[in-house]
């Protein structure tokens, strides 16, 4: 779980343009970022 959170944090910090590509990805990543339980 911690590794998954770390992965998303790194992805958000390193590739903001990738996350902004679509509303679905943006919503998904932010949902995971604020509430990791929803990722599963």
The residue with greater pLDDT, 8 or 24, is 8
Cα distances from 40 to residues 15, 17, 36, in angstroms, run 22, 24, 8
* pLDDT tens-digit readout, 10-30: 776 766 565 555 556 567 767
Spell out the domain ranges in the chain.
2-39
- Residue that is written with structure tokens 């919503």 in the block: 27
Does the model's pTM come out above 0.85?
Answer: no
């Amino acid at each position: 779980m911690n590794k998954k959170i770390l992965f998303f944090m790194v992805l958000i910090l390193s590739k903001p343009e990738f996350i902004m590509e679509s509303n679905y990805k943006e919503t998904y990543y932010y949902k995971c970022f604020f509430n990791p339980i929803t990722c599963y």
